[in-house]
Amino acid sequence: MDIVNRFLRYVRIDTESAEDAGVTPSTPGQMEFVKMLRTELEELGLEDITLDEHGYLFATLPANTTRTVPTIGFIAHVDTSPDVTGKNVNPRIVEKYNGTNIVLSAEDHTILSTNDSPELLNYIGDDLIVTDGHTLLGADDKAGVAEIMSAIAYLQAHPEIKHGKIRVGFNPDEEIGLGAHKFDVDLFDCDWAYTMDGGEVGELEYENFNASSARITINGRNVHPGYAKDKMLNSMRVATEFIGMLPKNEVPECTTGYEGFFHLVGIKGGVEQTTLNYIIRDHSAGIMSKRKELLQRCVKTLNEKYGTDTVTLELADQYKNMREVIEPMMYVIDIACQAMREVGVEPKIKPIRGGTDGAQLSFKGLPCPNIFAGGVNFHSRYEFVPVGSMKKAMMTIVKIAEIVAKR
C-alpha cells in the first residue's frame, strides 16, 4: 500500500477528539483507528506490539545491524481537531496543481484561493490532496501516521538499509492537550524520538511556548435596573474592564515568532457572574512569570476597587518549552537536518507557536523534537497536503534511521 492510499484510507475514519469527555481516548473512533493500525503493524511483521485501554499503540521494528545503535522512536497522534468536523471526510486529489484557485465546493462557493493561501504557489506541479469543503482533511496528524507506517514498510522492503531498533508510537487526544498524559515513556523505551506533526515541508522544531490557562470569575450584584443606582455591580462591565487592563497588542492576531500573548478563548456571563477563560503563551519562562504576575495585579486592583473576592483567578500550567531538554543533545537536531538535506529538503528550524506532544514527552524523559508532516491550513476546511511533502517526510524518517546506524 503506497503512502497516498494509506492516507486516504486513514482520513475517512472519524477520529475527532472531544473536550471534557472525561475518558481516554475521548472518542470511540480513535480506538477504532489504532486497532486498524495494530493489524497493519502485525502484517508488517513488527514486534512487541502493545495497545492499552487508553488507545496508546506501540511497536518495534527490530534492528538489522549488529552494531550498537541507539533506539529511536517516531510518534504521531491519531485524533483530529474538534475545531471543524472530521466526520464523512471526502478527500480528492488535484493532480499536477497548476497555480490557480481550487473549488472545493461549488455548491457552497468554498474556494481554496491563492490570495488566502499563498503557500499553494509553492506546490505548482505537485499533486495536492484537498477536502470537499465541508470537513477538515485530517493531515494533522494522519499525514504523520501514514508517513511513519510507509517508512516502516519501506525499511522492511529494503533490508540493505541498516538501522537500529526503531520504536513506533501512536497516541490519542493530542488536539485537546492530553496526548502525552498517559504515554508510558518507560514502556516506549528509546533514547530519543521525533513527533511527525509539523506543518510545511522542511519544518523542524525543538522549542515551543510555555503554556498556562487562566480562569477569571467575576461576581456581581443584580438589582432591578430601575432602582440600581449605587447598588448594582454588573459583572460583565467589570469583565470588560479587566480585558482592557491587558496589553491590547499582545494577542494572537498581533504577534508572531517568539512574541507571546494573552488569548481570550471564552466569555460566559450575566449581571450576577461572568467568567473569562484565557490561554497564556510565551517562549520565555521569565516573561511567562511576568504575564502571570500581571493577571494577579489586575485582579488585586479590581478587588480593591469593587470589594474583596469580587474577582478570583485560577491559574494552571499546561506545558513548558522543550528547548531546555533538547539543547544539551543537539545532535538529535543535527541528525534530522542531515536527513532532510539528503532527501532534498532544506531544514527550516523555527519555534512552535503552540504546543506539541513532544514538549510534554521531553519533560517526561523522552527528548522529542518535531518534524514536518507536510500539511497546510490545519484545523480548517481549507486544509491540504502535497503528496510530494508526505513522501519527503517518509524518506526523512528512513534517512534518520540510516544515519543513526552509521553514526
Instruction: Report helix angle 285-306 to 235-245, nearest 10.
Output: 140
Does pLDDT of 217 surpass 80?
A: yes
Cell of 275: 467568567
Cβ neighbours for 360, distance < 8 A, ≥ 6 positions apart: 179, 180, 181, 183, 319
* b (16+ CB within 10 A) / e for 307-342: eeebbebeeeebbbbbbebbeeeeebbebbbebbee
What's the pLDDT score for residue 407?
Answer: 83
CB 192 within 8 A of CB 231: no
Q: Is the dihedral of CA 340, 343, 346, 351 positive or negative?
A: negative
pLDDT-above-70 percentage for the chain: 100
Instruction: Give residue 316's pLDDT.
Output: 93
Predicted pLDDT of residue 391:
98
- Alpha-carbon distance of 154 to 161, in angstroms, equals 10
Catalytic (active-site) positions:
79, 174
- The predicted pLDDT at position 180 comes to 92
Closest CA to 8 of 122, 155, 132, 175: 132
pLDDT over 90 percentage in the chain: 95
Domains by residue range for the chain, with CATH:
3-207+321-406 (3.40.630.10), 210-318 (3.30.70.360)
In this prediction, residues 350-367 reach a mean pLDDT of 90
Q: How far apart are CA 112 and CA 137, in angstroms?
A: 13
Per-residue confidence at 340, pLDDT binned at 50, 70, 90?
very high
